[in-house]
């Protein structure tokens, strides 16, 4: 694809690399909140998103916005852990499993939920977070809204409220590689082209820190940045402090703790700067939204 116009609108050149170093799952449990605050103060990450249906989401949102952090909503329509579950903030029965919670997997929610119910739920989550603090953007927990039907509804909800929807700037082939069938991928690619034509800021690349192991996450991050092509990158991670709560909830807790330890490590901000990448928050993209 051609050069992302967002680079120029941010004052960067066509060969520059803008990175939104993004912390997901904030408020999922308490261990995520002090980790997020410390990383905001360390200036090694640039944006955060909060899981509104989860127990600690209000404290997370209020704490981070009070600290001046860039905060978004991690739109949540799945509940993946076996013994720690959360429920919709709306009453739609097609968003719930037999226990009244969100289904555990993307396949389950996509099979049973209507785009209308999803749209109402996403709007309610965003409106609730906006009562707690300044919200710049929305993205998707587990990528659950990454189907054409859900995605169109989600983008409309975000734009109506003046926040940036996280949208990968992928053509049909890019969507096929994410698992969509040919028809859905073509539909998604055409919609993305329309959004860019309308001036909606989009991201070129999607990268992440690992959760499946705890080995040298700092080195992994720096190597990833070394290899990153020009454009705008949404680089997400899941840092949390090592607590008994986290260990009880998540079987991938070692990876979450390793994310945190890497991002808080001495000299990381300087190492990132040496690689010639520009960390940007979603609030910078929010300023680019059409008025």
Q: Which residues are catalytic?
A: 24, 238
Q: Closest by alpha carbon to 221, among 28, 19, 6?
A: 19
Which one-letter DSSP state was computed for residue 168? Answer: B
Q: Closest by alpha carbon to 57, among 166, 165, 143, 132?
A: 132
Contact 43, 269 (CB under 8 A): yes
CA distance 26 to 32: 5
DSSP β-ladder status, 205-208 and 71-75: unpaired
Which one-letter DSSP state was computed for residue 142? Answer: G
Contact 253, 40 (CB under 8 A): no
Per-residue CA distances from 216 to 238, 246, 260, 272 (Å): 15, 20, 12, 16
At CA 267, angle to CA 261 and CA 272, rounded to 5?
A: 90
CA distance 127 to 161: 9
């Amino acid at each position: 694809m051609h050069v992302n116009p967002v680079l120029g609108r941010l004052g960067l050149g066509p060969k520059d690399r803008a990175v939104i170093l993004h912390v997901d799952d904030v408020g999922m449990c308490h261990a995520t909140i002090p980790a997020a605050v410390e990383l905001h103060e360390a200036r090694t990450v640039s944006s955060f998103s909060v899981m509104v249906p989860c127990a600690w989401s209000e404290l997370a949102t209020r704490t981070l916005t009070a600290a001046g952090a860039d905060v978004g909503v991690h739109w949540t329509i799945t509940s993946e852990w076996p013994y720690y579950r959360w429920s919709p903030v709306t009453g739609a029965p097609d968003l719930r499993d037999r226990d009244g919670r969100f289904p555990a997997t993307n396949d389950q929610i996509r099979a049973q939920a209507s785009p209308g119910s999803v749209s109402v739920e996403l709007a309610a989550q965003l409106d609730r977070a906006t009562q707690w603090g300044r919200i710049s953007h929305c993205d998707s927990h587990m990528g659950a809204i990454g189907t054409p039907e859900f995605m169109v509804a989600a983008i409309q909800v975000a734009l109506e409220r003046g926040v940036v929807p996280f949208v990968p700037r992928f053509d049909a082939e890019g969507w096929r590689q994410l698992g969509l069938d040919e028809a859905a991928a073509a539909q998604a690619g055409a919609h993305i082209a329309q959004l860019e034509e309308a001036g909606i800021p989009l991201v070129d690349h999607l990268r992440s820190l690992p959760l499946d192991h705890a080995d040298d996450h700092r080195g992994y991050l720096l190597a990833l940045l070394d290899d990153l092509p020009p454009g705008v990158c949404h680089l997400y991670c899941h840092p949390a402090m090592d607590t008994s709560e986290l260990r009880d909830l998540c079987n991938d807790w070692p990876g979450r703790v390793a994310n945190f330890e890497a991002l808080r490590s001495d000299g990381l901000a300087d190492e990132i700067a040496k690689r010639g990448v520009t960390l940007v928050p979603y609030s910078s993209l929010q300023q680019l939204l059409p008025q």
